[in-house]
Chain A
Amino acid sequence: MNIQRINLGYRALFSLCFIGYFILVAPVAYSADTFKLKPGARGATCLKCHENFKEILKRGYVHPLIKKGECTGCHVPHTSSHKSLLIADTTKLCYNCHQNVLPAKRLSAHDAVVEGNCTTCHASHGSDNRFILTKSGSELCFDCHKDMSTELSKLRFRHRSLDQGKGCLNCHNPHASATSNFLLKRDAPSLCTKCHQIEKLTFKRTHMDYPVADKNCISCHNPHGSNNRGIIFDVAHAAVTERKCRECHEGPPSLRTKLRATELCRKCHQRTVDLALEKNRVHWPLLDDVGCLNCHGPHASKEQKLLKGSVVNVCGKCHADTVQLQEWSINNKDNEALCEPVKKGNCITCHSAHASNNVLLFTQESVNDNLCGRCHEWESHSTHPIGEKVVDQRNKNLTLDCLSCHKACGTGNNKAMLTFGTTYELCIQCHVERRR
């Protein structure tokens, strides 16, 4: 019994020693002294060889680890699998400390941040700009967003905030936005009313006393700038630029329109609307309660014809499946023989957006002659006879036209926009006797 107790006592003592060693003794024992590091080995020693860093240290903003002389925070002194002897891949290194840069729930995020390309904007060691940025203000953003820079340089009126304070960062977050698209700090109008005082008389007068304070400012104004006063989008409804709001709306404070849906637009655009309504097939959205405004903005737009987006985006709002085919096709690198309108997403080359006498709202009755034939010389089609005299073997009520073999909106991976994946598969649809 006693022996057993003694054994237990020894075991407990041994365990305590073992645990104590790892908690208390080992960290001290294997401290810097164990490696017999010279003073400053974690950073200061590095500068003996890397002399150019002395210059960096003099800059206005230096990475805190370098300030503390801890180069080993990011670099391994002897060997590493990563370039510049870094302790991790460049796309992951910064996240070791800066985990909170990307919020878990976010509506938009900067690609450079998501991909871990922090050094696109930040100098890793030090710079003369805040947050060790490589350049200051909007200049940094325009390094990548060159299109925006070019566009802005041509504009008559720029949004003043672009050239004041933080530039782009007056409205955009640099890393991510938890609440808004396009990295915006907030959505309009609350973002805009931070600077634009809605209580002011000038604001009310400019907006003809209509209660627009809670409306989406960017349905009329281009947030970056435009060639119109009041940075109203370049493509603006004449009634807006001429300040004739009452052409469509009741008098302020009521924003109600004088007529419903397409009937309102017809007041001025009578010919366009009547021409559409005379056709066999009117595009249904034109006839519903929203009417023309399903696709067009009433006030101003970035796009021609006051469209709410590019043609393919506007059509894709409802016809997402068809637009998906188009996207697959244009993203397929092997698919060189893509129809030009499909490449450009210009659906209205073949389809009429308002109305047509033809199925699928085709702009032309004959697929061969007038639709595909406008660009393709189908009569010299070398592969197969087509035309109104050639009956489709699969269906006696059909004759062969381009759409008998090709799918005009795109087919994903099929070559030459063929309906089937391989030529063999396509041909045996009719030439059954050749089936292997």
Chain B
Amino acid sequence: MKIFRLIALTLILVLFFLAPFSGAAIKLKYITSIYSDDKGIALEQPEGVACDENILLIVADTGNGRLLQYTFRDEAIELGTIEIKLDQLLYPVKTEINSRGEIYTLDRRQRRIIRLTPEGTFIGDLRPTGLPSPVSYVPRSFHIDENDYIYILDILSERVLILNPEGKYVRQIKLPEKYGPFSDVTVDFKGTVLLLDGVDGMIFSASNGSERFTPLTESLKKYVRFPSSLTTDDRGRIYLVDRNGGSIIILGQDGSFLERQFDMGWKEGRLNYPAQMCINKKGEIFVADTRNSRVQIFKLVE
């Protein structure tokens, strides 16, 4: 009997010391939620969220047809929310901020990408110039990289358009045939363009300068149900927003599965049809928790 105890104890000790070398687990720790603006007007079905590297947070309060600008400092939302409500902005969904603080938001009703100053003044629609034939396009989603280049997922002409910060056409990448419908596009820190198949949950990649997409992952349907958007962090990890499954999926740079966080639900720490997330360099994660009419904030813990 003694010998068994000794073996068990040795095993436990060995496993305990080996644990730190077995690969760091990633967790998203809940911090707080945003339910309303300063006036107490509740968020309604927000579908977009954008953050910069510091303290700025923009929420697309879709159901109320407005954008809200928050300051998030020391793990708390500060008072002084700015409401951006414009005649030109009807139904904002996916939202991004460029390095100059300009706000870009996709208006789903008008199917246009709208540009605003950091203060929320309307600049105009994003009108790509110099587009090759066909010139007509429908933006399903878009992304702005750290050099302010704009990547538009054009579902009408089946391509990703790449524009310079002034909106001039630079190049395009055709969408892979026999896949899709595609739901989002993003770019990682190496300049690799990542494309998300919203039905099969497959990710395609096109390395910097490449003219075609190749599969990065197989179908991720065992982890996700109708992923709506994807983003990356400064280490190249990929985050998938699992819309119908109410979760966030974390993948390695090579597309390997790392973690599935959360589940569908109503309480804080659970998601109900999330639409978009963003992550800043501090590892703070903001999720537009659409059907829960709130934005949830998490911290990346490794």
Q: Are A321 and B244 in contact (CB under 8 A)?
A: yes
Indicate with 1 or 0, residue by residue over A305-331, a CB within 8 angstroms of chain B CB atoms.
000000000000011111000000000
A255 interface residue per 8 A CB criterion: no
A349 interface residue per 8 A CB criterion: no
- 11 A-B pairs besides A285-B181, A397-B43 with CB distance below 8 A are A261-B156, A287-B140, A289-B155, A321-B221, A359-B273, A359-B290, A394-B266, A397-B42, A398-B266, A404-B266, A429-B266
Number of interface residues of A (CB under 8 A): 26
Q: Are B155 and A395 in contact (CB under 8 A)?
A: no
Indicate with 1 or 0, residue by residue over B111-138, a CB within 8 angstroms of chain A CB atoms.
1000000000000000000000010101
Q: Are B266 and A287 in contact (CB under 8 A)?
A: no
Given contacts A281-B108, A287-B111, contact A397 B35 (CB under 8 A): yes
B27 interface residue per 8 A CB criterion: no
Interface centre among B136, B156, B199, B265, by most A CB within 10 Å?
B156
Number of interface residues of B (CB under 8 A): 36
B90 interface residue per 8 A CB criterion: yes
Q: Which residue of A lies closest to B289 (CB)?
A: A395
Q: Are B181 and A284 in contact (CB under 8 A)?
A: yes
A67 interface residue per 8 A CB criterion: no
B109 vs chain A, min Cβ distance (A):
5
Partner of B156 from A289, A319, A394, A429 at Cβ < 8 Å: A289
B158 interface residue per 8 A CB criterion: yes
Please, could you name 28 A-B residue pairs with CB atoms under 8 Å apart, sorted by A? A260-B134, A260-B156, A279-B109, A280-B108, A284-B140, A284-B181, A285-B181, A287-B138, A287-B140, A288-B140, A288-B155, A289-B155, A289-B156, A319-B226, A320-B199, A321-B221, A321-B225, A321-B244, A359-B45, A359-B273, A392-B266, A394-B265, A394-B266, A394-B267, A395-B293, A397-B43, A398-B292, A404-B266
A186 vs chain B, min Cβ distance (A):
23
Q: Which residue of A lies closest to B226 (CB)?
A: A321
B262 vs chain A, min Cβ distance (A):
14
Interface centre among A397, A398, A404, by most B CB within 10 Å?
A397
| Cα distance, A359 to B111, chains bound together (Å) | 16
Q: Are B155 and A287 in contact (CB under 8 A)?
A: yes
Contacting B at CB under 8 A, from A383-416, are: 392, 394-398, 404
| Cα distance, A260 to B158, chains bound together (Å) | 13
B280 interface residue per 8 A CB criterion: no
Partner of B155 from A280, A284, A320, A360 at Cβ < 8 Å: A284
Note all chain A residues with C-beta closer than 8 A to B225.
321
Indicate with 1 or 0, residue by residue over A249-272, a CB within 8 angstroms of chain B CB atoms.
000000000001100000000000
| Cα distance, A254 to B140, chains bound together (Å) | 31
Indicate with 1 or 0, residue by residue over B138-149, a CB within 8 angstroms of chain A CB atoms.
101000000000
Note all chain B residues with C-beta closer than 8 A to A321.
221, 225-226, 244
Indicate with 1 or 0, residue by residue over B29-46, a CB within 8 angstroms of chain A CB atoms.
000000110000011110
Contacting B at CB under 8 A, from A349-387, are: 359-360
- Contact surface of B with A, Cβ cutoff 8 Å: 35-36, 42-45, 63, 90-91, 108-109, 111, 134, 136, 138, 140, 155-158, 181, 183, 199, 221, 225-226, 244, 265-267, 273, 290-294
Q: Which residue of B lies closest to A294 (CB)?
A: B181
Note all chain B residues with C-beta closer than 8 A to A392.
266
Note all chain B residues with C-beta closer than 8 A to A397.
35-36, 42-44, 292-294
Indicate with 1 or 0, residue by residue over A193-215, a CB within 8 angstroms of chain B CB atoms.
00000000000000000000000
Note all chain B residues with C-beta closer than 8 A to A396.
35
Note all chain A residues with C-beta closer than 8 A to B155.
284, 287-289
Note all chain A residues with C-beta closer than 8 A to B265.
394
Note all chain B residues with C-beta closer than 8 A to A319.
226
| Cα distance, A318 to B183, chains bound together (Å) | 12
Interface centre among B63, B111, B225, B266, by most A CB within 10 Å?
B266
Given contacts A280-B108, A321-B244, contact A289 B157 (CB under 8 A): yes
Q: Which residue of B lies closest to A409 (CB)?
A: B244
Q: Are A359 and B226 in contact (CB under 8 A)?
A: no
Q: Which residue of A lies closest to B291 (CB)?
A: A359
What are the 3 A-B residue pairs with the smallest beta carbon separation, nearest first? A394-B266, A397-B293, A288-B155
Q: Are B199 and A318 in contact (CB under 8 A)?
A: yes
Note all chain B residues with C-beta closer than 8 A to A398.
266, 292-293
Partner of B267 from A282, A395, A404 at Cβ < 8 Å: A395
| Cα distance, A360 to B155, chains bound together (Å) | 20
Given contacts A261-B156, A287-B155, A288-B138, contact A318 B181 (CB under 8 A): yes
Q: Are B290 and A289 in contact (CB under 8 A)?
A: no
| Cα distance, A318 to B90, chains bound together (Å) | 28
| Cα distance, A285 to B291, chains bound together (Å) | 22
Q: Are B244 and A395 in contact (CB under 8 A)?
A: no
| Cα distance, A320 to B219, chains bound together (Å) | 14
Note all chain A residues with C-beta closer than 8 A to B35.
396-397
| Cα distance, A395 to B266, chains bound together (Å) | 6
Q: Are A395 and B90 in contact (CB under 8 A)?
A: no
Interface centre among A260, A322, A398, A404, by most B CB within 10 Å?
A398
Partner of B294 from A360, A395, A404 at Cβ < 8 Å: A395
Note all chain B residues with C-beta closer than 8 A to A394.
265-267
Note all chain A residues with C-beta closer than 8 A to B42.
397
| Cα distance, A397 to B44, chains bound together (Å) | 8
Note all chain A residues with C-beta closer than 8 A to B221.
321
Note all chain B residues with C-beta closer than 8 A to A404.
266
A112 vs chain B, min Cβ distance (A):
33
B219 vs chain A, min Cβ distance (A):
11
B252 vs chain A, min Cβ distance (A):
25
| Cα distance, A404 to B108, chains bound together (Å) | 27
